[in-house]
A and B are shown apart, each in its own frame.
Chain A
Amino acid sequence: MRASSVPLAGQTRRDFLRLSGLTLAAIGGSWSLTGCGLFGDDSKAADGQSTLKIDYVPVEVLDPQVITNGMWILSRGISEGLVAQNEKGDGVVPAVASEWKVSDDHLTYTFTLRDNAQWSDGKPVVAQDFERTYKRLFTPAGGSAGGTTLGANSYQTATGIKGAQDFLAGVLTDWAQVGVKATGEHELVLTLSNPNPDFLLALTHPAMLPLPMDLVESKPKDWQNPPNYVSNGPYTVTEWVANSRLILTPNAKYWDRDNVKLGRIQVNLVEPSAAATATVPYENGETDLVQLSGPDVLRFQKDADLSKQLKQTENYSILYLAKLRSQHKAMEDVRVRKALSLALDRKTLAGVQPGQQPGVSLVTSRTAGWDDSIAIKEDVAEAKRLLAEAGYPNGQGLPPVRILVGVPDTTLADAMVDSWTKQLGIKASVDHVEAGVYTERRWQVQKGNYIGFYYGTFAGLPTWPTMVGSLWSPKNVQEISLPSDQWQAYQAVQDNKNLKPAEKTQQLNAILAAQASKPAQDIAALVGQAAKEPDDAKRLGLYKQAAKLREEQYLYLPVLWLSLFHAVKPKVQGLQLRAYPDYFYLKPLSVES
């Protein structure tokens, strides 16, 4: 037993050295195994004062035609469309198009593209780029967007470009008949089927941004991944580490390069979190701009310094409830739905979280021309009378009213339930489900005596065509007004894979025409009329009439108008927050030295 006589000190030291050697080897090994790429490429590029760090949600796709969060970072200033929104977000300013002419009938828009607009690879931005991009956007499934996910095209047919809807539906196959035409290197003509007062604003949607189509077609899988990425906006993407960060640097070829002030933007891709640690990166100086949620907003508001860094975007979105289809007939009675809306104590609900206002109509008060003629007047006594009249005095015989929620936070839904049980004495509850269950259940016909609403939020341009024509659109209203059995028949047609696009559209429209409620048909007619009406005052009147009629159906109940909050470091200059899902543009931003 020679070994046992070896002095202890030497033994442990040797063991220790061996162990620590192993440890270092393992660490070194795992690092060298992955190379210096473990943390990404140029994560430490020093640019001093001209670096801005902002937080954003994770980006999975950098294709503006695919509905993901990625599209809204692109429109901030990576890609540039024909026009951009003005500071307030209620009008447009020239971007790639230096000027445009609108025909007298408001149907033809002729854009002149600036001749010094360039892609980041030095190629000129030409009208054909836009035509080819829009063709990709309006091409039906499989043919475009890499075929791997759904396109944003369903929104953009709402711009009213002639033939776009039919081309997308596969009814029209001749692209020449679609109202998108490059008539010269620097001239693009867009033709509408109906006048659309929101058309120029609609062009600021990310789906209308141009793509470098040569690249997209030659590298269908890889064009989004740096260093391949090519953009035409103030900044371009030089690094993309999924779930970690995007690195943006100025596009040297940008036509207005002199007015791009930052040297580098680090976009931290952060999963939204309600954890107590959510604002630590901001307060620790790791990010200069971050979006805040409820409890953090309250904390910032109470702090003398932090409250100055808090920026509010009022009335950003609308929280609403939508009727669920059920076997039980209670919710088919408009009196029941109206009673539930009149008995919501919106003022109390608004006090639950910061920045909220009672949502008295689906159209927010930000919309020019809004007045309280379309607003809901809460009235508990009337609500009780209506319930009794419908056969449910004091809620007797009425099944519990459920609110189907698919988002993590149920605070506001809980408050609504509270409002109903207190004010009406009915039974109500929140049905909190996983997101997948939510997406499936909200279109189903609920079984047995399950009745209630699903919970949702919408944000959109504060204009009448958007608020009445696109959000809770006439078609949505017709669909939700269908009796449960007709709704099932309607869904069966939607899911029928044997029908040609034109047949399907025709059959669906036939069901709506025969079975949707009379007021729902009237709303559609009013909105159709409004879209064609050239006179501003008359058009406003028609939209308002449609909006009021929609409120009176109580198929969708407006609940709250919600604000957005950002915390912004004082050194960040030039921030112009707009109530639009991209929130602000990067171009005017600079950092004070």
Chain B
Amino acid sequence: MGLAVYIGKRAVRLVLSMVAVSILTFTLLQLAPGNFADLQRVNSGATNFGGVGTESMVGELESRYGADVPVWKQYLIFMKGAVVWDFGPSYKYASRNVQDIIAEAFPVSATLAVLAVLLALLIAVPVGVFAALRQNSKSDHATMFAVTLGHALPSYLTAAFMILLFSATLKLLPSGGWNGPEDLVLPVLALSLGPAAVLARYVRSSMLETLREEYVTAALAKGGPRRTVIVRHALRNSLIPLVTVAGPLLAALMTGTVFVEALLRIPGLGLYFANAAASRDMPLLMGTALFFALILMVTNLVVDLIYGLLDPRIRTVGGGADDGH
């Protein structure tokens, strides 16, 4: 089973999944109560001003789709554009195309995600190794307690704490906004703690497992210095499973983090996605949902490929298992 065939099969699956995602998102949106026009009236500052009649103004919405275009046809019109990366203008951000919004907001979310995952790795690896080498000692328990706490704390709570500490009290950093590199500090810190905790647990358990491997025992028995054995043999091999965790973590963060973005006033993709759902902005919601699905699936594919590269055993097994038999 060649690599090309493997990737080809994955690509077919990816396309099928995208179709499924688009149909599901569109259907759910149709089932959701309320529509863009009515919500816009209720939610905008203007709506609590002036006498709004009860006439439905929905009819004014659709120049692209036409007022009388049936729902299924709207879906087809949208998808026809979507396959060539043209999602059309957002309802809410009427002067901009959805693909332009994604092109503008994704780099913001992606920068934060990459930095946060890197920082998380920088924290997680030493912490995990430290705990594994002292398994069941007091310092192991203390570390794991801290890690569990970090895992349990939602990022928006961390962000709120950090705003109160670094901005309100210490006055060291801006409390939010997106004006310069200093605005990266708080969101990256807030976003990295959770992943750092998750990754640290993986490093610890993976390290423990590797330390019990025969080749480690053998290396030690041969009289290799303990630290060298740990770094060269144990750590290197125990980091392989980390790839499978870090990949999806990165994808999840790249697609935007609603709460942290809202709290720290960051113009990332998460905020658009949440607003699109809340305001029933069909093109924007469909566009971002499809984009998220794509990012997630591509990341998974890349992770699987890297995994195969790192561990030749997976490559052969993975190729065979993919037949589905």
Question: Could you tell me which A residues sit within 8 Å of B by CB distance?
Answer: 1, 3-6, 8, 11-12, 15, 19, 23, 26-27, 30-31, 33-34, 38-40, 43-44, 57, 60-63, 66-69, 71-72, 140-142, 145-152, 154-155, 158, 205, 221-225, 241-245, 268-271, 273, 275-277, 280-281, 283-284, 286, 317, 406, 434-441, 443, 456-460, 466, 469-473, 475-476, 479, 494-495, 497, 581
Residue of B nearest to A43 (CB): B179
Q: Residue B45 contacts which of A69, A221, A436 (CB distance < 8 angstroms)?
A: A69
A8 and B228 within 8 A (CB): yes
Chain B residues with CB below 8 A from A440, complex form: 33-34, 38
Q: Which 7 A-B pairs have the closest CB atoms?
A: A436-B34, A147-B63, A470-B51, A141-B60, A34-B107, A243-B267, A439-B38
Instruction: Assess whether A8 is in contact with B111, with CB atoms less than 8 Å apart.
Output: no
List residues of chain B with CB within 8 A of the CB of A470.
50-51
A443 to chain B, nearest CB (A): 6
Tally B residues with Cβ within 8 Å of A: 86
Return the chain A residue nearest B44 by Cβ: A68
Q: Does B193 contact A (CB under 8 A)?
A: no
Cα–Cα, bound, A1→B219 (Å): 10
Which chain A positions have C-beta within 8 A of B167? 280-281, 284
Residues of A contacting B174 in the complex (Cβ-Cβ under 8 angstroms): 281, 284, 286
Which chain B residues in 119-145 approach chain A with CB under 8 Å? 122
Interfacial residues of chain B within 189-225, with CB under 8 A of chain A in the complex: 219, 222, 224-225
Taking a contact as CB atoms under 8 Å apart, the answer to whether A67 and B267 are in contact is no
**Chain A nearest Cβ from B262, distance in angstroms:** 5
Report A-chain residues with C-beta under 8 Å of the C-beta of B171.
284
Interface centre among B34, B50, B89 (most CB of A within 10 A): B50
Chain B residues contacting A472 (CB-CB under 8 Å) are: 51
B64 near A148 (CB under 8 angstroms)? yes
Would you mind naming 27 contact pairs between A and B with Cβ atoms under 8 Å apart? A3-B232, A11-B228, A26-B115, A30-B111, A30-B114, A39-B183, A68-B92, A148-B91, A149-B36, A154-B52, A242-B96, A243-B266, A244-B177, A244-B178, A244-B265, A245-B177, A268-B177, A271-B262, A271-B271, A277-B163, A280-B167, A281-B174, A281-B176, A436-B34, A439-B42, A443-B54, A497-B68
Partner of B231, one of A12, A27, A495: A12
> A154–B56 Cα gap in the complex (Å)?
11
Which residues of chain B have C-beta atoms less than 8 A from A283's C-beta?
A: 168
- Asked whether A241 and B267 contact (CB < 8 A) given A23-B122, A40-B179, A149-B60, the answer is yes
Chain B residues within an 8 Å CB radius of A441: 33
Would you call A456 and B48 a contact (CB within 8 A)? yes
B61's partner among A149, A221, A268, A471 (CB-CB below 8 A) is A149
Q: Which residues of the partner chain A approach B262 to less than 8 Å between Cβ atoms? A: 271, 273
Q: Write out the residue numbers on chain A whose beta carbons fall within 8 Å of the beta carbon of B67.
A: 141-142, 497
Cβ 8 A contact of A225, one of B41, B55, B96: B96
Cβ-defined contact, A581 with B111, below 8 A? no
| Chain A: CB-nearest residue to B48 | A457
A43, A241, A284, A317: the one contacting B168 at CB < 8 Å is: A284
A406 to B76, CA, bound (A): 32
Q: Which of B48, B108, B164 contacts A459 (CB 8 A)?
A: B48
In whole angstroms, what is the CA distance A494 to B53 when docked?
A: 12
Q: Which residues of B contact A497 (CB under 8 A)?
A: 59, 67-68
Within the complex, the shortest CB–CB distance from A193 to chain B, in Å, comes to 17
* A559 vs B183: C-alpha distance when bound (angstroms): 43
Residue pair B54, A38 in contact (C-beta under 8 Å) = no
Residue from B89, B92, B160 in contact with A275 in the complex, judged by beta carbons closer than 8 Å? B160
B111 close to A149 (CB less than 8 A) = no
- Asked if B94 is an interface residue, CB under 8 A from chain A, the answer is yes
**Residue contact B231 to A8, C-beta cutoff 8 Å:** yes
Q: Check A72–B34 contact: CB distance below 8 A.
A: no
Cross-interface CB contact of B225 among A4, A31, A152, cutoff 8 Å: A4
Let me know if A63 and B94 touch, CB within 8 A: yes
A443-B42 Cα distance, complex, nearest whole Å: 13
Cβ contact within 8 Å between B179 and A39: yes
A242–B219 CB distance below 8 A = no
Among B33, B57, B94, B101, the residue within 8 A (CB) of A436 is B33
A223–B94 Cα distance when bound, in Å, is 11
CA distance A69 to B57 in the complex (A): 18
Interface: B39 (CB within 8 A)? yes
Cβ-defined partner of A150 (8 Å) among B61, B114, B272: B61
A44 touches B180 (CB 8 A): yes
Q: How far is the CA of A393 from the CA of B272 in the complex (A)?
A: 52
Please measure, in the bound complex, the distance between the C-alpha atom of A434 and the C-alpha atom of B42, giving whole angstroms: 12
Count chain A CB atoms within 10 A of each CB in B67, B122, B232 and give the residue with the most.
Answer: B232
Measured between beta carbons, the chain B residues less than 8 angstroms from A456 are: 48
Which of B32, B62, B68, B96 neighbours the largest number of chain A CB atoms within 10 Å of its CB? Answer: B96
> B173: shortest Cβ distance to chain A, in Å?
9
Please tell me if B72 contacts chain A, counting CB pairs below 8 Å: no
Task: Choose among A19, A39, A469 the residue that contacts B178 (Cβ–Cβ < 8 A).
Answer: A39
